[in-house]
Chain A
Amino acid sequence: MAERSYGMLGEFDSPEGLLAAAKQARAAGYCELDAFTPFPIEGLARILRIPCPWISLVGIIGAFSGAGTALLMQMFTNYDYPLNVGGRPLYALSAFAVVTFELTILFSALAMLVAMLWQNGLPRLNYPVFAAPRFHLASKDRFFLCIKSQDPMFDDRGTAAFLTDAGAASVERVPP
């Protein structure tokens, strides 16, 4: 068998065209789909059946670990080097509140950034779709639907014909 391609890329000139084509592809039975757009498109995730991301969960874990670290750190330093300031309590939660709050936010924000990049597989400077000659327009004003070659229904000619029928302005084969 000849070299298997990465997939077939159809270009649409509006988000609505892309949404309609994605719906058609779903209806036709394609399941290995991806879309590339210059800005996030409402409703696309539902059509492509992208599972709900768990960045928020990571954010909460980050927040709790930040709060925990900050509290333990402040308790420990006051335990290890107790300083009597006019008889005020050593473990003064009200005085620990600010640093605890700051570290809650810090850990949570950093955890979410790392989780987002990690889950997206970034940084990854090269990717097969970049080889398609018109793909640079995906960051400008074009909307691309990609049917990947892992899809059981995928075959070079049939899928290309399907995308053209769905209204694609151009159809390109993405080399592996």
Chain B
Amino acid sequence: MSDHSDILPRRQSIGGIADQLTGIPLHFPAERRWLIAMAFASALLLLLIISVTALFTRGVGIWGINIPVNWAFAIHNYVWWLGIGHAGTLISALLLLTGSEWRNSLNRFAETMTLFAVICAGIYPVLHLGRPWYVYWMFPYPATMGVWPQFRSPLEWDIWAVLTYLTVSLVFWYTGLIPDLAAARDRATGRGWQIFFGITSLGWRGSAIHWLRWSQAYRLTAALAVPLVVSVHSEVSLLFAAGQIPGWHSTIFPPYFVLGAAFSGFAVVAIIAVALRSWFGLRNLVTDDHLDVLGKVLLATGLMTGYGYVFEVFDALYSGEAHEMRTLLDRVAGVYAWTYWGAVLFNFVPLQALWWRGVRRTGWALLLISISVAIGMWLERDMILVTSLYRDFLVSSWGKFTPTFWDWSTYLGTIGLFLVPFLIAVRLIPMISIFESKELLHEEKQEAHHG
């Protein structure tokens, strides 16, 4: 993977890692910066609360959605947030199974990112319901009228996929966290911390037999999580592909969506990695080598997403279907062509800089490229939704979509909904896996010792 065989510098001790990483919650080094970030995030969260209150009082009419464009911001942000979440699971689970040791410095905050991104995604379909107080109609319960949810519809699959994904992500995250919570418990000196970590670590004592069972459970959950990610975003794409709308009704959609999800998610992982390492001085654990690998993964998933773009065009042309080709033309030259070309520009142009090793290993460069990718993928999700819907089969049902203030405020608000719990998690729990870092460092030292 890199020129060095070691991903973690060997000049550090196992005990040092434990002290450094448990020290972040226990003796928080960046109180001031954290408070500033928290104030900013809370303001955004407040904006969400106001937007949702307005939405619930006045109805979805305050958004720019209409007929024909009835799925705009709400579903586009839903897909975007969910996609971001997927990279956390892929980094943690897939790379655990393939034995890629560089994941050990990234998996914890990537998984935390997944949890909160999925929550941001999950609220959108509920907000979009129009009558959100009937959300329980999605669950099969013995209703007095004898009706059941329609399981042959992709819209019903959605809630099962998202809730399963959220629960399994939580299980995986917590299982991996237990030994680290115990490490923090044993380092804690304040009474409050001792109680907090004492209870959350469930009394973990690192017994050999416990480790054995724990490893089996952890690895098997990882093995379940990988196909789960693929299934969840494929299912999301079926919400589109199962319909007949031109531009959606295509078999390319599941892989196209899953790859785009991984692409945007890895970008956000890179943003968080660069931010956390400069924030907490974690250069010894999140090294330039880590950024290098992240850059490569971002480039690879980006090129795969680019392949999806090419094939989408091919698909439309090869179908020979007039409406498909009309939609293709609307995408590249219609009123919303700027979303298409914006997506191409933000997704794939700065990305090419990652071919250079020097760029991949520079924190701020990777950060800027990743932000560009996050914007590009946001535009892509918008493009897929709006350009297909605003002009479908009948000219009589053509329309336009313009986002209103409330569309934007709800979207910006969900960024607060993501950041507030994430910042709280940074404050409370070890953000880099302690025991996995120690295990890796020990292995490296062993190898160096035996030559």
Residues of A within 8 A of B (CB): 15, 34-41, 44-45, 48, 50, 53, 55-56, 59, 73-74, 77-78, 80-81, 83, 85, 88, 92, 95-96, 98-99, 101-103, 105-106, 108-110, 112-113, 115-117, 119-120, 122-127, 129-130, 136-141
Contact = CB atoms under 8 A, between A and B. Distances in A.
Which of A81, A106, A120, A126 has the most B CB atoms < 10 Å from its CB? A120
A102 to B, nearest CB: 4
11 contacts: A35-B207, A37-B208, A39-B439, A40-B439, A55-B220, A78-B148, A102-B231, A106-B167, A110-B171, A116-B216, A141-B438
Interface string B211-247: 1111111001100110110011001001000000000
Given A38-B18, A105-B224, 14 more contacts: A36-B208, A48-B209, A50-B208, A50-B209, A50-B212, A78-B151, A98-B238, A102-B232, A106-B164, A113-B221, A122-B210, A124-B202, A138-B205, A140-B187
B442 interface: yes
Nearest to B440: A39
B205 A127 contact: yes
B152 A53 contact: no
B183 to A, nearest CB: 4
Interface of B: 13-15, 18-19, 140, 146-154, 156-157, 160-161, 164, 167-168, 171-172, 174-175, 179, 182-183, 185-187, 198-199, 202-217, 220-221, 224-225, 227-228, 231-232, 235, 238, 435-436, 438-439, 442
Which of A85, A106, A115, A140 has the most B CB atoms < 10 Å from its CB? A140
A130 B435 CA distance: 19
Contact of A109 (B149, B168, B199): B168
B383 to A, nearest CB: 25
Contacts of B147: 81
B220 A112 contact: yes
B149 to A, nearest CB: 7
Contacts of A105: 164, 168, 224-225, 227-228, 231
B101 to A, nearest CB: 13
B175 A140 contact: no
B18 A141 contact: yes
Contacts of B18: 38, 139-141
Nearest to A101: B231
Which of B154, B160, B174, B238 has the most A CB atoms < 10 Å from its CB? B160
A157 to B, nearest CB: 25
B246 to A, nearest CB: 20
Contact of A77 (B140, B204, B210, B231): B140
A114 to B, nearest CB: 10
Nearest to A119: B213
B175 A130 contact: no
A115 B438 contact: no
